[in-house]
Amino acid sequence: MKAHATPAEIQAIIERVEGAGFQAHRITGVERTVVACVGEERGKDDLAQLEFFSGVESVMPILKPYKLAAREVHPEGSRIKVGNLEIGGKGLAVMAGPCAIESAQQIDRAAQAVKAAGANMLRGGAFKPRTSPYSFQGMEHDGLLLLEKAGREFGLPVVTEVMDPHDIERIVEHADMLQVGARNAQNFSLLRRLGKVNKPILLKRGMSTKLDEFLMAAEYILSGGNSNVVLCERGIRTFETATRNTLDLNAIPMLKQWTHLPIIVDPSHGTGTESLVIPMALAAIAAGADGLMIEVHPEPEKALSDGPQQLRPARFEELMRAVRRVAAAVDRTV
């Protein structure tokens, strides 16, 4: 739409689009509004005439298979609100906390430590996707309540993983953001359900998901009506076995060209090794990431999952000090 299009002009276009059998998604930017039309290829000639309607600046076909995730529909980049935090602006999001919630004392100590060091969100898994069915599976609902309580106490919005569509409702009640893990990155029925949820989603890249497939996964959530999606690069499987995964930092500038969605990086799962987390976190910020997800445990040697990659609080403080310096160099703040 033109920069000064009136609400009535915008509404008239939305009605025309829907009348032509398309879904209309309204995207309100700082300068102008975009009406994204999603539907069958066949009817698209009808949309070309919209160019002659008042308030319309241009009609532009989006050639990419992901329509709502495409950069073109929101050239200035989207900003996603999680509680009072905004992800995708100048300020970096730092989500930190243990791999899994293990006890009230553990999550409280983690929350206190990451808050003191400058994190602005608390993470912790209550439902854990474990390779072995015999490994610790998470504290489930009890863990969720402990996470919520710790987040409130320290003033940090919380993010936690959802694995099963049946758990969505109760997680929505207690968490500020829902995480889709790497193992569910292409669980299309879960993604569809999350399109109907009224909370932001943190979508992790699958370990063998190409970037275009990653954006198609995001498109499932967006097309369901939930426009609040943040992407997370967390490493992919390659022939390299020295590290748990290969953190694909190419993904950041590439995705920045292709999509308006914010992108954060998880160097904890991306490397699997505590000593590699700080250098890769810094590289991620230098490459243009909008934030980080970092696993922090008060006593990593006692962790019930992912001990080798979790930072102790003092190391996390060191990370935050270094991140502030790199952030300043690339004109970002923490």
Q: Which stretch binds ligand PEP (CB under 6 A): 1-9, 58-66, 147-155, 175-183?
A: 175-183
Nearest of 25, 10, 2 to residue 229 by alpha carbon? 25
Give the bridge partners for 86, in sequence order: 81
Cβ closer to ligand PEP: 10 or 247?
A: 247
Name the token pair of 204: 């992790």
> DSSP letter at 70?
B
Cβ closer to Mn ion: 130 or 149?
A: 130
Residue 174, interface with ligand PEP (CB under 6 A)? no
Helices 251-258 and 211-223, axial angle in degrees (round to 10): 50
Applying the rule CB under 6 A, the residues between 277 and 296 that interact with ligand PEP are none
Site string for ligand PEP, 8-37 (x = CB under 6 A): ------------------------------
Residue 125, interface with ligand PEP (CB under 6 A)? yes
| Strands (DSSP E) found in the chain | 23-28, 33-38, 80-82, 85-87, 93-97, 121-123, 158-161, 177-180, 201-204, 229-233, 263-265, 291-295
Residue in the shown chain whose Cβ atom is closest to ligand PEP: 181
Using DSSP, state whether 180 is helix, strand or coil. strand
Residue 161, interface with ligand PEP (CB under 6 A)? yes
Applying the rule CB under 6 A, the residues between 189 and 248 that interact with ligand PEP are 204, 234
Q: Is 224 exposed, middle or buried (0-12, 13-18, 19+ CB in 10 A)?
A: middle
Applying the rule CB under 5 A, the residues between 269 and 328 that interact with Mn ion are 306
Site string for ligand PEP, 94-113 (x = CB under 6 A): -----x--------------
The Cα–Cα gap between 333 and 92 comes to: 6
Select the residue interacting with ligand PEP from 138, 143, 181, 272 (CB under 6 A): 181
Count of chain residues binding ligand PEP (CB under 6 A): 10
Name the token pair of 29: 């930017």
Binding site for ligand PEP (CB under 6 A): 99, 125, 129, 161, 181-183, 204, 234, 269
Binding site for Mn ion (CB under 5 A): 99, 306
